[in-house]
Amino acid sequence: MLIDGYLREDGRIGVRNHVLVLPVSYEMNQIAEKIVAGAQGAVTFRNQHGINQAGDDLDQTLRVYEGFATHPNVYGVVILAWGHEPFDLARLVSRARAAGKQAELVSLTQVGGISHAVARGTELANEWLVTRDSVQRVQVPLANILLGTECGGSDACSGISGNPALGVVSDLLVTEGGTSILSETTELIGAEHLLAARAATPEIGEQVIHIVHRLEENAMKMGVDIRGAQPSPGNMDGGITTIEEKSLGCIYKGGTTPIQEVIEYAERPSKHGLVIMDTPGHDIEQITGMVAGGAQVVIFTTGRGTPTGSPIAPCIKVATNSATYLNMEDNLDFNSGPIVDGLQTVEENGNALFETMIAVLNGELTKSELLGHREFGIYRIGKSL
Amino acid sequence: MESNRQWIRQKPVDDVATALKRLQQGTEIQVENGKPPLVLVQDIPFGHKFALRDLPARAQVHKYGQVIGRATQAIRAGEHVHVHNLESLRGRGDLQRGETGVQDSSLLQG
């Protein structure tokens, strides 16, 4: 199957053609917003991090920046820095350029202060907003698409309607040679044995068990009851009682194909097919990780109607029940409620969701894009130093 | 997957079913053809679970054909199954400290 996408110089395929203003530390958030205010059509996000990090934590943050700066949905990137961040900003620019992006560093300390940074960033963004239109969509195989799957604000219907329908989409995409990411390690607790049994090799199966047990042990070491966070109070109101129950409903998102790989947070898959990314259950951190890993599109099932989107990837929001869909239609793109209502089979609803995804890949805007939902959050490993 | 519009039982081995609409106390649930129906002993909110059979305290409870936790007290067939009478067995740092988790009703209320 073919879709209309943007063929990038590095061979990857974009489904959006964004000019991104990327604030590499929180000091730059307001400056980034001023630039975007003066460059209508450019996108940015609020960053909470970027400094006072070290070791693996810093590496992970850099991996997210690189994933965004080189992302196939991005045409050009203004890398906006204070100038005292603990990383090699020139290398970030060169990686973005190597991926074929228009990319420039605007460093507050180098350009001579805030007003100069706003002026320079706005000038670059506006220039690229014009030149980006020279890039036209071309027909490319669907096999180039990396889908991020997500469930957030889950209810008991998530495991009955939304997630199984998304599982149908995952299977259809994998059949076409594409890649689907199953993540949210917290929400695999109690279901990891089922996934391990589906791993392409015994080693991959062991990795699945490993990441789940590692996360569970961390919760145990903290001496906390995981309940209250997983499942959340909203999940419980929706009928979910235990983390095991939530997990068993969650894993439907990944469909039925073998697991080809287990990857780290914000890492790019090296295999096609179904892959597992080790992420937290926190929706925004999780979507950020999958998008940094190269996901061009996210499908997000929700029983409670979460508003979340992503700065650079369209996020298709799927209601798991008709009441939530009707109540929050301005925010939701698709309804899996007809499965619960007995009006559609999982297969029928999943096929319709697949068609919705194809339309979005071809350029149709999602509700979260129309509403300007551009949430961003990096999963932190350590504490701020 | 067995389904009708009022409730769903994911797998035949499951101990619980999920209400697909708000079900009132006294509603008859025909679990298996030819057998007497189950009668709900409480109202069941939309999306919540009810027991399909009597479950003793500490029994493992199955949904999706898998264990979703343990009964913290005896549960009667037709009773609401939720955080007041079913607890998770996984990720429980509080159990690590030697607590049962059962008495901590403030956490269970979410």
Instruction: Name residue, tokens 């920046």.
Output: A65
Chain B positions touching A342 (Cβ under 8 A) are 3-5, 20
Distance of CA A257 to the CA centre of its chain: 21
What letters, b where the CB count within 10 A reaches 16 and e where it falls short, cover A35-51?
Answer: bbeebeebbbbebebbb
Q: Considering chain B, what percentage of its residues have pLDDT values greater than 70?
A: 80
β-strand pairing of B80-81 with B49-51? antiparallel
- pLDDT at residue A222, rounded to an integer: 76
Average pLDDT, chain A: 94
Residue A271, CA distances (Å) to A20, A146, A254, B94 in order: 27, 11, 15, 39
Segment A199-209, tens digit of pLDDT: 999 999 999 99
CA–CA distance, B110 with B107 (Å, rounded to integer): 5
Lowest mean pLDDT among A101-105, A122-126, A223-227, A328-332: A223-227
CB A295 within 8 A of CB A308: no
Work out the angle between the directed axes of helices A346-361 and A163-175 (0-180°, nearest 10).
Answer: 60
Residues of B whose CB is below 8 A from A184: none
Q: Closest-CA residue in chain B for A154?
A: B47
| Burial zone of A54 (CB within 10 Å; 0-12 exposed, 13-18 middle, 19+ buried) | exposed
Q: Which chain B residue's Cα is nearest to A343? A: B5
Of B47, B94, B96, the CB nearest to A238: B47
**Residue A229's pLDDT band (cuts 50, 70, 90):** low
Q: Do A190 and B90 touch (CB under 8 A)?
A: yes
Q: B83–A249: do the CB atoms touch at under 8 Å?
A: no
Taking CA atoms, A58 is separated from A88, A342, A351, B89, in Å, by 12, 49, 41, 34
pLDDT of residue A50: 85
Percent of chain B that is helix, strand, coil (3-state, to 5): 5, 30, 60
**Facing B49 at nearest CB: one of A194, A222, A241:** A241
Q: How confident is the model at residue A151 (pLDDT cuts 50, 70, 90)?
A: very high
Name the band, by pLDDT with cuts 50, 70 and 90, for residue A85: confident
Round to whole Å and give the CA distance between A152 and A175.
Answer: 26
CA distance A375 to A150: 14
Q: Give the C-alpha separation, A131 to A347, whole Å.
A: 42
Q: Which residues, at least 6 apart from B15, have a Cβ–Cβ distance to it below 8 Å?
A: B51, B52, B53, B55, B59, B61, B62, B63
- pLDDT at residue B97 is higher than 70: no
**Cβ–Cβ pairs < 8 A, chains A and B:** 120
The pLDDT-based confidence of B107 (bands split at 50, 70, 90) is: very low
Using a CB-CB distance cutoff of 8 angstroms, which residues of chain A are in contact with residue B8?
A: 160
**Chain B residues lying within 8 Å of A226, measured CB to CB:** 88, 90-93
pTM score, whole prediction: 0.93
d(CA A359, CA A343): 23
Q: Does the pLDDT of residue A105 top 90, yes or no?
A: yes
The pLDDT score that the predictor gives to residue A334 is 98
Question: With b meaning 16 or more CB within 10 Å and e meaning fewer, what string describes A322-341?
Answer: bbbbeebeebbbbbbbbbbe
Residue of chain A whose alpha carbon sits nearest to that of B86: A241
Distance in angstroms (rounded) separating the CA atoms of residues A16 and A365: 10
Strand arrangement, sheet containing A138-141 = A13-14, A2-7, A138-141
CB-closest option in A227, A323, A341 to B88:
A227
> How confident is residue A32, by pLDDT bands cut at 50, 70 and 90?
very high
Beta-bridge mates of residue B61: B69
Predicted pLDDT of residue A84: 87
Q: Lowest mean pLDDT: which of A215-229, A271-285, A339-353?
A: A215-229
Which residue among B47, B92, B107 places its CB closest to the CB of A157? B47
> Which of B80, B88, B96 to mutate to probe the A interface, most A CBs <10 Å?
B88
A chain contacts of residue B59, beta-carbon cutoff 8 Å: none
Q: Which residue has better confidence, A276 or B101? A: A276
Confidence band of B94 (pLDDT split at 50, 70, 90) = low
